[in-house]
Amino acid sequence: MGDASRVRLTRREDPAPEGTIVQASAAALRDVSPSTHWYAIWTRSRHEQIVREQLERKQVEAFLPTITRWSRWKDRKKKVAWPLFPGYCFARFDPANTLAVLKCTGVVNIVSFEGRPAAIPDREVEGIRTLVTSELQYDPCPLVREGMMVEVVHGPLSGVVGRLMRKDAHRARLILSVDLIGQAVSVEVDAGDVKAY
C-alpha cells in the first residue's frame, strides 16, 4: 500500500508499539467531504464508555456502538453492553478542538492522516448507528480482503497462515504456499474462521 493510503495515529501518549498504523483505503479518504466531522478516537482498554461520557460533558457529540453479551462472574451471569469495536469511540467535532478531545481521560489517540485527524464519512457512522438501533442480530467481524495474508483461528487449520484468494458470506479460499520451491495448495475454510494476519 502506498503512503497515501496510510492512516497514522496522532500520539498524545505512546502505550502502543512503535510504528502502530491503522490502514485506510484511499477511496475511503476521498469519500469524506470537508464538512464531515466524524472521527475515530482510540481509547485505552475498557475506557470506551468513560471517553464517551467525558466527550458528552464537553458538549461533543459522541457515539459508542455496543453489542449485548452474557458476562459471567463467580456467582452470577448478566447481560452486559460491550463496545462493538473495542478500543474505539466515535466523535463529531471541529478539528480545531482536537486538544479538548485528547485531554479526556482514557483517550490515547485520534486516528489521523498526514498528521491531521482523518474524518469518517457520515454514511459509514450513520449505517452503524442505524444497525445498532434496529432489532436485527449483528456480530463484529474482521475486515479481510482478497489478496491479504490471513490466519485461520478456528478448526483443524487453526494457526495456519495463507493468502486469501476468495471470500463470500460462508466460505473463504486460502492459498498456502512454499515460496522457495514455487509451489502452493488451495483450501476452503469457513469465512468466520479467518482474521487478518
Question: What pLDDT, on the 0 to 100 scale, is given for residue 33?
Answer: 42
Average pLDDT, the chain: 81
Whether residue 52 has pLDDT greater than 50: yes
What pLDDT is recorded for position 100?
A: 93
Average pLDDT over residues 136-159: 84
Joined grid coordinates for residue 92: 463529531
Q: Which of 12, 4, 32, 36 is nearest to 110 (CA)?
A: 12
* CA 32 distance to own-chain centroid: 18
The pTM for the full model equals 0.64
Report percent pLDDT > 90 for the chain.
44
Task: Give the tens place of pLDDT for each residue, 69-89.
Answer: 888 877 888 888 899 999 999
pLDDT score, position 136: 83
**What integer pLDDT is reported at residue 4 of this predicted model?**
42
Confidence of residue 142 (pLDDT cuts 50, 70, 90): low
Residue-level pLDDT at 30? 47
